[in-house]
């Protein structure tokens, strides 16, 4: 039996949100709702309490902190895509946000909700991992390399809320993906970034969780050009396979998208 109803809570601040979470039997935070609401409609989730944090003050913003771009957790995708600060500091991040889902999703979905859900085919995780961003929560700061732990799984503890994401500005960066024709999710998406220290390559959509491609990073560190990836092969053993494409097909997509992302980075797109 599925519950006939649930309790809806709109807290005034983060402290009230966390208190409501502690007091509920089976609570879930609600930001944009682009994943949670459809999941509830399909009877795949039935929380006892929805805690709506979308209008909690101080969670929707974009600001610069010297060489770092900080984005509030409840900032919507469309806002990130259109923000002059993002376009100037990290054009690839603005382009990524502008290609998420469709207009309805971009105008409701939030960066914090996307990261907390960690869908295997979501776009934002690749930017966070590719740029070596830092996730700030109500309790601590988590490095991108430690945040994504598996399919729909993160390092967040029960009740912990993402408050903002800090992106260090790269020397250059690019993103490219193949969209699922039905959902718009990435069948394979690759974010490439050259920082002052190293090169990072993050892959989404192809595996159970976003991951870094070490061999591609090494190749691009030697020569940051699409041609540097020509001889790099991606192992298909741990990649997704479904009606939209085999694991071998996705492995090829990763290589092609990485080259396109590198080209985008070089062009400044």
Are residues 200 and 97 located together in one domain of the fold?
Answer: yes
Least confident of 31-40, 157-166, 193-202, 204-213: 31-40
Tell me the angle at which helices 247-267 and 91-98 cross, rounded to the nearest 10 degrees. Answer: 130
Give the residue-averaged pLDDT of 234-259: 95
pLDDT band at 134 (very low <50, low <70, confident <90, very high): very high
Are residues 91 and 27 located together in one domain of the fold?
Answer: no
**Quick one: which of 184, 233, 238 has its CA closest to 210?**
238
Cα 143 from Cα 120, distance rounded (Å): 19
Does residue 57 lie in a domain region? Answer: no
pTM equals 0.95
Are residues 172 and 251 located together in one domain of the fold?
Answer: yes
141 pairs with which residues across the strands? Answer: 136
Are residues 176 and 111 located together in one domain of the fold?
Answer: yes
Give the residue-averaged pLDDT of 214-233: 96
3-state secondary structure of 263: helix
Structure-token pair, residue 153: 């799984």
Are residues 122 and 227 located together in one domain of the fold?
Answer: yes
Are residues 41 and 67 located together in one domain of the fold?
Answer: no
Are residues 215 and 245 located together in one domain of the fold?
Answer: yes
Are residues 21 and 73 located together in one domain of the fold?
Answer: no
The number of distinct structural domains making up the chain is 2
Cα 174 from Cα 260, distance rounded (Å): 8
Does residue 175 lie in a domain region? Answer: yes
Are residues 81 and 40 located together in one domain of the fold?
Answer: no
CB of 107 within 8 A of CB of 33? no
DSSP code at position 82:
H
Are residues 263 and 175 located together in one domain of the fold?
Answer: yes
pLDDT band at 78 (very low <50, low <70, confident <90, very high): very high
| Structural domain harbouring 118 | 62-267
pLDDT tens digits, 178-189:
998 877 789 999
Cα 176 from Cα 239, distance rounded (Å): 18
CATH number at residue 158: 3.30.465.10
CB of 208 within 8 A of CB of 233? no
CB of 110 within 8 A of CB of 31? yes
pLDDT tens digits, 90-131:
999 999 999 999 999 999 999 999 999 999 999 999 999 999
């Amino acid at each position: 039996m599925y519950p006939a109803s649930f309790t809806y809570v709109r807290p005034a601040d983060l402290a009230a949100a966390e208190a409501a979470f502690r007091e509920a039997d089976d609570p879930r935070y609600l930001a944009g709702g682009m994943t949670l609401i459809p999941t509830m409609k399909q009877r795949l989730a039935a929380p006892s309490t929805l805690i709506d944090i979308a209008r909690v003050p101080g969670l929707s913003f974009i600001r610069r902190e010297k060489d770092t771009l900080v984005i509030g957790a409840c900032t919507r995708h469309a806002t990130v895509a259109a923000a002059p600060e993002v376009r100037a500091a990290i054009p690839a991040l603005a382009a990524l946000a502008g290609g998420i889902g469709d207009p309805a999703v971009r105008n409701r979905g939030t960066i914090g909700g996307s990261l907390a859900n960690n869908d295997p085919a979501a776009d934002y995780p690749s930017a966070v991992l590719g740029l070596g961003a830092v996730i700030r929560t109500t309790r601590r700061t988590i490095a991108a390399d430690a945040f994504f732990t598996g399919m729909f799984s993160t390092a967040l503890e029960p009740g912990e809320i993402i408050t903002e994401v800090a992106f260090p500005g790269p020397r250059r960066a690019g993103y490219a993906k193949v969209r699922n024709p039905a959902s718009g999710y990435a069948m394979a998406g690759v974010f490439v970034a050259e920082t002052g220290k190293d090169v990072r390559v993050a892959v989404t959509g192809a595996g159970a969780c976003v991951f870094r491609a070490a061999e591609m990073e090494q190749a691009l560190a030697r020569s940051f050009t699409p041609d540097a990836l020509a001889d790099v092969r991606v192992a298909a053993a741990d990649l997704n396979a479904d009606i939209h494409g085999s694991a071998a097909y996705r492995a090829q997509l990763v290589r092609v998208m990485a080259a396109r992302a590198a080209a985008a980075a070089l062009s400044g797109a």
